[in-house]
Chain A
Amino acid sequence: DAGVIQSPRHEVTEMGQEVTLRCKPISGHNSLFWYRQTMMRGLELLIYFNNNVPIDDSGMPEDRFSAKMPNASFSTLKIQPSEPRDSAVYFCASSIDRDYGYTFGSGTRLTVV
């Protein structure tokens, strides 16, 4: 298995632009998580899905952020419009159920200038 696949690995964009981050979870995993990591705040959960349904989006910072999971093999995290304070590494992770660990993607390093 190729693991959790995230794209792009790096993204540099100008303030105000729309940014879309993509994630392909491990086949058969039914939970998918989006995390953000910054120097100031460490790792934070943004949103997680179970069986493609959003379960907890309390970590989504504001309306500029949205996430979708149209099917079991694909999820997107969109920021519109982007701001410099959104600069961070965004990780996607998936798990098969509560009794198993998590597999993390390699992350997307986002820089908003």
Chain B
Amino acid sequence: KNEVEQSPQNLTAQEGEFITINCSYSVGISALHWLQQHPGGGIVSLFMLSSGKKKHGRLIATINIQEKHSSLHITASHPRDSAVYICAVRGAAGNKLTFGGGTRVLVKP
């Protein structure tokens, strides 16, 4: 079993729809990251969370440490949100990230 599991693997939405991506992990962590990778390949760090909730524009990330679960929400989705979203956790010690398999999101106009 992978240490970091994401669901769904693929998601297709219509423009304007609310999107939720889930991430579950099985190890103790000091922080959780959400990353975005566009078709061109570049990786952008969206959020780093250790508790609670963060919001940036139409993106909201939440984490429940007790349940070892995080969600990334996209409100009013837009075709430019089409990308792969990757969850990564940093262990309790050190600076190493372990990655989920990614969720491929396609937003249709």
What is the interface of chain A, defined by CB distance below 8 A to chain B? 31, 33, 42-45, 48, 50, 55-56, 89, 91, 93, 95, 98, 100-104, 106-107, 109
What is the interface of chain B, defined by CB distance below 8 A to chain A? 30-31, 33, 35, 41-45, 47-48, 86, 88, 90, 94-102
Report whether A101 and B48 are in contact in the complex, using a CB–CB cutoff of 8 Å: yes
Report whether B95 and A104 are in contact in the complex, using a CB–CB cutoff of 8 Å: no
**Residues of A close to B100: CB separation below 8 A:** 42
Min Cβ gap B109→A in Å is 27
Report whether B101 and A42 are in contact in the complex, using a CB–CB cutoff of 8 Å: yes
Report whether A42 and B102 are in contact in the complex, using a CB–CB cutoff of 8 Å: yes
**Residues of A close to B90: CB separation below 8 A:** 98
In the bound assembly, the distance between CA atoms of A9 and B107 in angstroms comes to 28
Report whether A48 and B96 are in contact in the complex, using a CB–CB cutoff of 8 Å: yes
In the bound assembly, the distance between CA atoms of A93 and B100 in angstroms comes to 17
Report whether B95 and A50 are in contact in the complex, using a CB–CB cutoff of 8 Å: yes
Min Cβ gap B64→A in Å is 20
In the bound assembly, the distance between CA atoms of A44 and B31 in angstroms comes to 17
In the bound assembly, the distance between CA atoms of A107 and B41 in angstroms comes to 8
Report whether B48 and A107 are in contact in the complex, using a CB–CB cutoff of 8 Å: no
Q: What are 26 A-B residue pairs whose CB atoms fall within 8 Å in the complex?
A: A33-B97, A42-B100, A42-B101, A42-B102, A43-B99, A44-B99, A45-B96, A45-B97, A45-B98, A48-B96, A56-B94, A89-B41, A93-B43, A98-B31, A98-B90, A101-B33, A101-B48, A102-B33, A102-B45, A102-B97, A104-B42, A104-B43, A106-B41, A106-B42, A107-B42, A107-B43
